[in-house]
Amino acid sequence: MATTRNSTESSSTLGTFVRTTFQGAIFYRLLAVLVFLALWEIASLFFLKNFLPQVGTIAARIWVLYSSGAFFVQLADTLRRVFVGFFFAYTISILLGIWMGMNEKIEKFFEILVLIGISIPGLGFIIVAIIWFGISEVTAYTSVFVLATPLIIFNFWKGSQAIDTDLIEMANAFQASRWMILREVLLPSLVPYMLAAARFGLSASWKVTVLVELLALNSGVGYMINQQFQEYSIVGVMAWMFGFTIVMMAIEFGILKTIERWATKWRSDQRISQPELL
């Protein structure tokens, strides 16, 4: 057998290649943000301060919000609403998605409901929820659940249709039990789609949450944005808006990307082929 360890050398060159491109990715991401901020700064010179404030003004206000701790009191409420709603939406979606994948009748039954669910105008349902539940946490949870669930199912189920049936055939040929096929073949193949659906669902969840807070609740980031709006403070509105965006990006890069890297460590290219939808 002529195969020797030689090709590890090429795989470590591949490793270097991946590392440098990854660093390259960080470079271009930073560059993109800086270019955007620079264009904003230039544009702000041509407008009134009350219309488009300078980058520095907003940054200073975000800093005040962060350092006084006021921001995080509101953030805690918002994140709780996001994650509670998301947790139920995501759990139901993954279970239902797998069930739809396994059973054609179930798939046909839920397909139209999912498509209808995606088409519901978010704002419309939020108002219905406010009428039903009033100024209450339940309004936020229900809105997130109802609006995010069809999106997560759709995303997960479309992705999971691409699953490799060859591997299941292989497992059957080796007489693997159903449990083994589920645990060793199906679930690991679903992981990338579960992650993509999580990212997609999370972004839908926080958008809905902020909207509910803005319309009906008396705490949270959305509520504070509304309050700043009542005071006609564009600096305040933007500071809360971008302050929250920074936190969501930290969750994306700090938590989701880490889980993703860990769950797909077997990929030789470490490049993530999923749509990034945040």
| Interacting residues with other proteins (CB under 8 A) | 1-5, 7-8, 11, 14, 166-167, 169-177, 180, 184-185, 188, 191, 264, 266-269
Torsion over CA: 184, 187, 189, 191 (sign)? negative
Output the smallest distance, CB 262 to other proteins, in A.
12
Q: How many CB atoms lie within 10 A of CB 185?
A: 18
DSSP labels, 52-71: S--HHHHHHHHHHHHHHSHH
Of 241, 158, 227, nearest in space to 192 by CA: 158
Is the separation of the CB atoms in 225 and 139 below 8 Å? Answer: no
**In terms of residues, how long is the chain?**
278
Output the smallest distance, CB 195 to other proteins, in A.
13
Output the smallest distance, CB 259 to other proteins, in A.
14
Q: How many CB atoms lie within 10 A of CB 3?
A: 6
Give whichever of 137 and 184 is closer to other proteins, judged by the CB atom: 184
| Residue with the two structure tokens 């271009």 | 28
Give whichever of 230 and 268 is closer to other proteins, judged by the CB atom: 268
DSSP 252: I
Q: Which pair of tokens denotes residue 128? A: 């219905």
Q: Which pair of tokens denotes residue 126? A: 């939020």
Output the smallest distance, CB 263 to other proteins, in A.
8
**263: which residues sit within 8 A by CB, 6+ positions away?**
191, 192, 195
Give whichever of 1 and 45 is closer to other proteins, judged by the CB atom: 1
Give whichever of 164 and 276 is closer to other proteins, judged by the CB atom: 164
Q: Which pair of tokens denotes residue 105? A: 């009748």
Query: In sequence order, which ranges of the chain are alpha helices (DSSP H)?
Result: 6-44, 55-68, 70-102, 104-119, 122-133, 137-160, 165-173, 178-180, 187-216, 221-230, 234-251, 257-263
Give whichever of 128 and 176 is closer to other proteins, judged by the CB atom: 176
Give whichever of 5 and 105 is closer to other proteins, judged by the CB atom: 5
Output the smallest distance, CB 12 to other proteins, in A.
10
Output the smallest distance, CB 4 to other proteins, in A.
8
Give whichever of 112 and 173 is closer to other proteins, judged by the CB atom: 173
Upper half-sphere CA count for residue 180 (Cβ side, 13 Å): 11
Output the smallest distance, CB 153 to other proteins, in A.
24
Output the smallest distance, CB 269 to other proteins, in A.
8
Give whichever of 119 and 268 is closer to other proteins, judged by the CB atom: 268
